[in-house]
Every structure is written in C-alpha cells, then in structure tokens.
Chain A
C-alpha cells in the first residue's frame, strides 16, 4: 500500500539554514546538509529545500548545498525558490535534486512547466501554488506571497496538471506561519479537482494538523517546517502518531 509522506522543509538563505533544527549536538547548526541528513536518518520520506536567497549574486550558493546534500541523503530531494526557467531546473537536477518546484515562473509563463516536464519528465516537476482566500475563492499569489494575481487557485491547479506538473505543492498564505493548521478546504478542493498528488503546506502547529491534512484535505503528502525544527516533534513521533490514527506511513 502506498504510504502518505511526511516532508520536512528547510528554508535556505545564502547557503545557510534560516530556521533550523535546534539540537545541541549539531556541529554546524546552519548547515543545510547536516540538517537534511538528520531528517533523512530520522525517517523523513523526502527533504525539501526552499531557497529564499534574495540577492542574485548569491543564487549559486544553493547549487553547492544541493550537490553536497545529494551525496549524503538517499531519499528524494525537492528544491524550490527562485527557479526562473528550464536552465535553472537543469542546473538543480544536475546538482542532484530529484524534483524542482516552480512557483512564480509557472504563473508568469506556463510554458516553463510544459517544456520542463517534457524535457525532464513530469516526475521531477512540482508546481508550488501559494493561495490566499478572497471572499469565496482562493487566489494565486506570487513573489513569496507579495503579489496578488487574481487567478483562481483551483482552476490554476487543473491547468498546471494539464501542463505536465507531476505534483502540486499547495500553500495557504493565510495559514503559513500561524500554526493553526492547514487550510483544509483549499487542500480538499484542489485534491478532488486534479488527478496528481497534492502536498499540503502552510500552518502546521501540531501533529493533529498533519492528520487533518491527509484525512480531511486528501493530501498525499504533508509538508511542515517549524514543528520539526525546534525539536518540538521528531519525524518518528509524527509518523507514529499518524499511524495511531490509521494513516499508512513508512516506519
């Protein structure tokens, strides 16, 4: 039976982890490679890096991070943030990323998704959707949530599937960072609209939120950041909790 996945996400800036694991025995708390290794050894089903490097001259730092991580972690590695075109995707894949997530570039030009999924295969193309509720619908935001495009998130999700996306990483901008739980309605609406897997993101504050993302939101995978970073919960604890709630996980 296919298991639901738990994906810890690390924010990386200028090659360093911004919010990271708060473990005392870390040699270098800011090293994404060491943290990714802790997660994969702890049973993470995938690792996600979100590159939030702002300045373009430091963009190349992520390639080194990906290269070193892929030599140490043997679970799938997804990398996103600042991916502009097919060449960026190619570079990340060559460094050892298994999947690349595309956000703003996909909204601006869906051909990036079409071309890259044709060239590299749908299996490595993840479209990241940042959505925010506006009265009775959800709208797509770009540039890290700063720009409202007015595009309907549900319709957009379907369109990205048609363009060849292999998975959708759906983040609720209303919930991100709030720790009050995923936007379940958004997740379930998108999940029922498309036939590709949906990864739920944004808002996890406790383990029940992960359960809700899968059971109520129909997500195939759940992504979380802060609950894992500060030692609040280990991946193992999360998996055992999900299993106790009847959710199939890899233990």
Chain B
C-alpha cells in the first residue's frame, strides 16, 4: 500500500512524515511528494497544512494541477484522504484568515476565527484538550471518548451540515475538531504530536 503525504510547501511537515513512518514501519510505503502521478496512483492521501488558510490555499494553487488531482482522488474516485489542521480547514468553501479566500469546497462550510470572548481565551488555542466524540468515526477506532489531543490553531472549521462532525473540543465554545464525510477525514488537532493516542489515529487511517 502507498500513502502519500502531499508536500506543497505548506510549512513544516517533518513531524507528520516522522509519525506516519513510525506507524507504517515497513508494511506501508510512505511517499512525500507533490508529483501528480504519484498522488493519483496512491491508495491514501494525507493533506497537512500549517500557517494561514490563505497561505496554504495559495501554496496548493501554485502547483499546477494539484487541486484538480486531489479533487479527482477524493471526490471523483472517493479514495481515503486525511486533512490535518489547515489541511482539514481547506475542505471548506471559504476561509477568513488574512483575507477572504476560497477553499476546496469539499465539505460545505466556513473557517472563521475562534471567538476569544474579549480576551477571556488566549489565542492560538495551544496545548492538550479533550475530544468529545459525537459520532462513530473509523479513525477513532480504539480511542476513548475524552482522550487528549494536541491542538494549535486560532481558526475553526464551521461546517454547514453538522452530520459530518465526528468530534468537538471545548475552548470558548464547542469547536469542531474532527470530521468524516464518506471517504474524507479531517482533524483539527495534530495526531502526529498527540503521543500514542495520536499515532493510533494515524494507524486507523492507514488501516482503513
């Protein structure tokens, strides 16, 4: 099996690569590339993302044909794709970080700034928070409700259809922190930095 981590200059993806390699061992081949043919031929795709919504979308668009290839993979061919952090946020129709920016539009919704209640909550939301699993998700197999995951973000994904939400976390309000829509998965938290429990999420995705 081939799992491709999309390398589109979205910032630091070393930790994502290390964690997937740790889980995959020698059983699964982990590719790190933006090569369109390699993405097309892989079994699963991971879309990481760090920095702002706008910078990640811009970086995706900079690579000719990448967005179309990813859409074909996830939407037309319905193969498993996992978005992490801004990788998840980009599923939305639109994001408001820096400036209004069009997203991939795979899961209807918007990405807006977390309401910090006039400074009552510090932003970014950094650290370990518990997830509240609201629907069964294949990537949460063997993961207990209220498990701790590592977060670092200031913006949240607000999907239109709440049925896609698989987990929320409480910070100022109930923030969507995981979605599952058919073959498309996303986590706002960083499974690659969430210790053994995070590696379990990665393992679940690899074993889908």
Task: List residues of chain A with CB under 8 Å of any chain B CB.
Answer: 1-5, 40, 45, 70-71, 74-76, 93-98, 119-124, 166-167, 195-197, 220-221, 250
Contacts and interface: CB of A to CB of B under 8 A. Distances in A.
A3 B171 contact: no
Given A40-B195, A74-B195, A197-B122, 8 more contacts: A2-B171, A71-B18, A74-B22, A75-B195, A76-B193, A95-B14, A98-B12, A196-B123
B98 to A, nearest CB: 10
A53 B119 CA distance: 39
Contacts of B153: 123
A121 B50 contact: yes
B123 A195 contact: yes
B25 to A, nearest CB: 13
Interface of B: 11-12, 14-15, 18-19, 21-22, 50-52, 55, 116, 119, 122-130, 148, 150-154, 170-171, 192-196, 198-199
Contacts, number: 100
A93 to B, nearest CB: 4
A94 B192 CA distance: 15
B195 A3 contact: no
Nearest to B56: A121
A5 B127 contact: yes
B129 A1 contact: yes
Contact of B122 (A71, A119, A195): A195
A93 B14 contact: yes
Contacts of A120: 11-12, 50-51
Q: Which 10 A-B pairs have the closest CB atoms?
A: A121-B51, A93-B12, A96-B14, A250-B128, A123-B152, A250-B148, A3-B128, A2-B129, A121-B50, A197-B122
Most B-side CB within 10 Å, residue of A2, A3, A119: A2
A197 B119 contact: no
Given A121-B50, A123-B124, A124-B50, A96 B15 contact: yes
Given A2-B171, A123-B153, A70 B129 contact: no
A70 B123 contact: no
Contacts of A196: 122-124
Nearest to A43: B195
